[in-house]
Amino acid sequence: MGPTASPGVPAVIPLWLEPLQRLVEAGGSVLVVIALVAMLLFSLALERVWYFRITYRRARRALIARWMARQDHLSWSALTLREAWARELIGRLRRPLPWLRLLVALCPLLGLLGTVTGMIAVFDSLAMTDTSQARAMADGVARATLPTLTGMAVAVVGLLFTSRLEQIIRREDQRLHDRLARAVEDTDA
């Protein structure tokens, strides 16, 4: 079965996109917005994985080398500088966390918006037909709850990633301070 087209408009949706088209038709336009938010959320998540695996580790090694190259490691100004450098590096790792949290919080709200608009459409169609068909109402309610399900699923996965990233940041903050202190001890020994 090929894609359906309006009269006079050619069908341009490939066959492999038909399931997505049916999903959007079932859940409404809010599902498209949730999908866009999910793509942004998971793009930020992939960027953080890439940053942590490649860029952060290089920057951490460079910071330790820069700290080791200093002559003074024990004065108050040297320790303050070390703390500032470490805070800056960890701050770069932490930078997208507010955006990730915002997108995670936005997903259930968008799902709720989709459910409310879907329920309004169900009650509107029932009012127009002047019949109380339980089957039609059940089908409409099921279609209306699809955005909430989708929003909650995206939010749960995003929340899992965000909490894992926060755990990694706390661990890396401690490791960075330990490595900087250990680097000084190794040179003094």
pLDDT at 7: 56
Domain residue ranges of the chain, discontinuous segments joined by +: 28-104+150-186
How far apart are alpha carbons 12 and 9 in whole angstroms?
A: 9
The residue to which tokens 């932490």 are assigned: 94
CA geometry: angle 24, 30, 33, nearest 5 deg: 95
Q: Among candidates 62, 138, 73, 151, which has minimal Cα distance to 112?
A: 151
Please, which residues have CB within 8 angstroms of residue 123's CB and are 6 or more apart in sequence?
A: none
The pLDDT score that the predictor gives to residue 122 is: 79
What helix, strand, coil percent values describe the chain, rounded to 5?
85, 0, 15
H/E segment holding residue 24:
helix 18-27
37 closest CA partner among 98, 108, 119, 94:
108
pLDDT at 182: 86
Over its length of 189 residues, how does the chain's per-residue pLDDT go in tens digits?
A: 445 555 555 567 788 878 777 777 777 788 889 999 999 999 999 999 999 999 999 999 999 999 888 888 888 998 899 999 999 999 999 999 999 999 999 999 999 998 888 888 877 777 777 666 777 677 778 778 889 999 999 999 999 999 999 999 999 999 998 988 887 776 654
Per-residue confidence (pLDDT) for residue 129, from 0 to 100: 72
- pLDDT given for residue 1 in this prediction: 46
Amino acid at 153: A
Token couple for 167 = 């755990």
